[in-house]
C-alpha cells in the first residue's frame, strides 16, 4: 500500500510540472488532475471536483465547431468518439473559474489498458491560426490567397476565434480596376509581406481581395488598412473598411462592403 501511495504522489508531482491541463482517466472517470487543471477550474482539491461534477464531458461547452457531449457517437464512449477525430478537430471549449471561454487542443494517450491521459493545450490565442491552416485545397493557386469558399466555410469559427481573443474582426476589401492574374499574384505577395501571420488574405473575385484580421478598434483598422491601400495605389485600387459588430455575420457585412466598393473611384478609400 505504501508503494502505491508513493507512486501516486510521484505521478502527481510529475503532472504538476506541466503547463498544459492534464487529467488521468480510468474507465471514463477522472482519477487525477494536475495543478494547472485545478487552478483553471478554481478547485481547492481534486476531491472537490469528484463531489461537484458528473461526466467529464460536462466541462466541454456545447458548440457545433468543437467536440462536446452532443458529438459522442451512439454505441461509443466519449473517449472513443474524441479519439476517432482528426487531430485538427480534437478541440474543446471550456469555461474557466472566471467564466472565460477558452479553447483547447486535446491529445490522448490510451496505451495503458483502462487508463487514458488527456493533455489539453490552451490554443485560444492561436485559434484563428490553427483553423486557417495553409494547404493546397484552401489556397487559390493562381494568386496565393485563400479561396472564397474556404473563407466562408470557416467564417463562423473565425468569429468564435475573435470572441475568444476579445477582439473585433476587421475586414478590408480591395478592388483593382485593371489587373491581370500575374499582377494580382504580385499584389498578394506584397500584402503578405506587410500583414501579420494570423491575418487572412482571400481572393474574393477576379479583381478583388478581402483581408480579415483581429483589431482592438476601428481606428487601428483604418491605420492598418491605409498602409496597404497606399501600397496598392500604383495598381489603381479602391478600398472599403468595416468592422464586424457583435451580432453581425461576416457574409452580411461583406455584402454591404461590396455595394460600397462599386461606388468608389480609383484610389479612394471608405470606412463603413
pLDDT, tens digit only, all 272 positions of the chain: 455 555 556 666 666 667 788 888 887 788 888 888 888 888 777 776 665 566 788 888 877 778 888 888 888 988 889 989 988 889 888 878 776 778 888 998 887 777 888 888 988 766 655 555 444 457 788 888 888 888 887 777 777 777 766 778 888 888 888 777 787 888 888 888 888 777 888 889 888 888 888 887 788 888 888 887 777 776 778 888 888 877 788 888 888 888 888 888 878 878 88
Place of cell 469555461: 95
Domains in the chain: boundaries: 2-122, 127-271
**Distance between CA 89 and CA 106 in Å, rounded?**
9
Say yes or no: domain 2-122 is CATH 3.30.450.20.
Answer: yes
Place of cell 468608389: 264
Neighbouring residues of 96: CB distance < 8 A, sequence distance ≥ 6: 40, 41, 42, 102
Contact of 117 with 109, CB cutoff 8 Å = yes
Which pTM was predicted? 0.54
**Distance between CA 80 and CA 93 in Å, rounded?**
18
β-bridge pairing 237-244 and 269-271: parallel
Specify the CATH superfamily of domain 127-271: Reverse transcriptase/Diguanylate cyclase domain (3.30.70.270)
Contact of 138 with 150, CB cutoff 8 Å = yes
Amino acid at each position: 500500500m505504501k508503494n502505491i501511495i508513493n507512486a501516486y504522489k510521484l505521478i502527481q508531482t510529475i503532472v504538476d510540472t506541466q503547463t498544459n491541463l492534464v487529467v488521468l482517466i480510468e474507465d471514463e472517470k477522472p482519477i487525477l488532475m494536475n495543478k494547472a487543471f485545478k487552478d483553471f477550474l478554481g478547485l481547492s482539491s481534486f476531491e472537490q471536483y469528484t463531489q461537484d461534477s458528473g461526466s467529464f464531458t460536462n466541462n466541454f461547452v456545447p458548440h457545433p465547431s468543437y467536440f462536446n457531449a452532443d458529438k459522442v457517437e451512439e454505441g461509443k464512449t466519449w473517449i472513443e468518439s474524441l479519439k476517432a477525430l482528426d487531430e485538427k478537430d480534437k478541440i474543446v471549449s471550456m469555461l474557466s473559474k472566471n467564466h472565460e471561454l477558452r479553447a483547447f487542443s486535446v491529445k490522448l494517450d490510451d496505451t495503458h489498458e483502462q487508463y487514458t491521459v488527456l493533455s489539453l493545450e490552451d490554443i485560444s490565442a492561436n485559434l484563428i491560426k490553427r483553423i486557417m491552416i495553409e494547404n493546397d485545397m484552401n489556397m487559390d493557386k493562381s494568386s496565393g490567397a485563400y479561396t472564397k469558399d474556404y473563407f466562408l466555410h470557416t467564417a463562423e469559427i473565425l468569429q468564435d476565434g475573435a470572441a475568444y481573443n476579445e477582439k473585433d474582426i476587421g475586414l478590408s476589401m480591395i478592388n483593382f480596376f485593371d489587373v491581370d492574374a500575374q499582377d494580382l499574384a504580385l499584389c498578394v505577395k506584397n500584402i503578405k509581406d506587410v500583414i501579420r501571420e494570423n491575418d487572412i488574405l482571400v481572393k474574393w473575385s477576379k479583381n478583388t481581395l478581402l483581408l480579415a484580421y483581429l483589431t482592438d478598434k476601428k481606428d487601428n483598422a483604418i491605420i492598418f488598412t491605409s498602409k496597404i491601400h497606399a501600397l496598392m495605389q500604383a495598381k489603381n485600387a479602391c478600398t472599403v473598411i468595416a468592422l464586424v459588430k457583435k451580432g453581425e455575420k461576416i457574409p452580411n457585412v461583406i455584402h454591404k462592403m461590396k455595394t460600397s466598393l462599386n461606388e468608389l473611384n480609383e484610389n479612394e478609400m471608405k470606412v463603413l
